[in-house]
Amino acid sequence: MDEKEGEECEEGAKKEEEPDWSIWTDPLEELSEIEDAFELDENGKLRGKAILDIGTDCVKPLYMALKYEPEKIVGINEDFSLYPFESTLKQKSKFFMETDIQFHEFSLFDDERLKVLGVDGKENRFHFVLLYKTLHHLRTGECVARERGPKHRCREDEKCCVYEFRGKEIFDRLFELGERVIVCEAFYPQEKDGDKVRGRGGYFTIKEWDRIFRYLLKKHDVKLIRPTKYSPDSKNAKMELRKIKAKLRQVDYICFYVKK
């Protein structure tokens, strides 16, 4: 090898970017936050259960399969470009585990493609529907950014716009898909919301949480997991709502589950 060739080689090596290992390590911490929202059997497993992971990162399903051994985990995401190992995971997990792991690239609002999940809204539903930092992306309504800053003007590219979150519509859809809906949301100011798509995205404000819990406490069985474990009493919704909001003013994260 002459000198020139060697230089080129080195240059090539420098260009190679360090992989982002947090894709593999963050889910470990995230799963520890969610664990108590599942209903594990006496062996600490989820045998025979099916989980739908909406907005999946592809890694949590792998770890969940290894630890809880459910029957099936289906992950959906609108865009897997951040997770190029999606198809490899799907293929190779078959060699090592019983859990059937599937991934589908489509949106929760794509009714036609949702049919492959084989749910009928009644008997055939997932036992668990997981939304980890995904719920705030399910905004569909009109722009509400002016509520937050009166100076906001909607732009064609919807940059800085924030759509309205239609709680009833969204949760009705989620309950069609599964029995227990597990929601985790967290806001870290240093973290950029890389997957904010047009007007969708942005952490929920207290006002939005108020609307969401006002609706959920009315007819549903809600259980808070983080920041504190407790079951709000739906007969006392007004007081519970005040308690929840007071907590949410102190912390920037929440994990809860809801059943109909």
Which C-beta is closer to Zn ion: that of 163 or that of 256? 163
By CB under 5 A, is residue 201 in contact with Zn ion?
no
Q: How many residues of this chain interact with Zn ion, rule: CB under 5 A?
A: 4
Residue 85: how many CA atoms within 13 Å on its side-chain side? 14
What is the C-alpha separation between 260 and 183, in angstroms, rounded? 14
Query: Does 58 interact with Zn ion (rule: CB under 5 A)?
Result: no
| CB of 47 or CB of 155, closer to Zn ion | 155
Residue span 95-134 as binding mask against Zn ion, x where in contact by CB under 5 A, dash where not = ----------------------------------------
Q: Which of 161, 212, 224, 255 binds Zn ion (CB under 5 A)?
A: 161
In the complex, the smallest distance separating the C-beta of residue 154 from Zn ion, rounded to whole angstroms, is: 3
Q: Which residues contact 237 (CB under 8 A, 6 or more apart)?
A: 214, 217, 218
The least distance separating Zn ion from the CB of residue 204, rounded to whole angstroms, comes to 17
Nearer to Zn ion by Cβ, of 73 and 161: the residue is 161
In terms of CB distance, is 104 or 166 closer to Zn ion?
A: 166
Euclidean distance between CA atoms 151 and 9, whole angstroms: 53
Residue 148 in contact with residue 70, Cβ under 8 Å?
A: no
Q: Contact with Zn ion (CB under 5 A): which of 52, 54, 73, 145?
A: 145
Choose the binding region for Zn ion from 17-25, 74-82, 141-149, 170-178 (rule: CB under 5 A).
141-149
Output 135 or 145, the one with its CB closest to Zn ion.
Answer: 145
Cα separation, 68 vs 117, in Å, equals 21
Q: By CB under 5 A, is residue 154 in contact with Zn ion?
A: yes
Tokens of 217: 């406490």
| 186 is an interface residue for Zn ion by CB under 5 A | no
- Residue pair 78/109 in contact (Cβ under 8 Å)? The answer is no
Question: In the block, which residue shows the tokens 């907590």?
Answer: 247
The string of DSSP codes covering 111-140 is: HHHHGGG---SSSS-EEEEEEES-GGG---
Count other C-beta atoms under 10 Å from residue 231's C-beta: 11
Q: Which of 117, 143, 184, 224 binds Zn ion (CB under 5 A)?
A: 143
Q: Does 254 bind Zn ion (CB under 5 A)?
A: no
Nearer to Zn ion, 29 or 157 (CB): 157
Closest by CA position to 115, among listed 85, 149, 76: 76
Cis check for the bond before 227: say yes or no (omega within 30 of 0).
yes
Shortest Å, Cβ 197 to Zn ion: 14
Q: Of 34-42, 150-158, 176-184, 232-240, which segment contacts Zn ion by CB under 5 A?
A: 150-158
Binding site for Zn ion (CB under 5 A): 143, 145, 154, 161
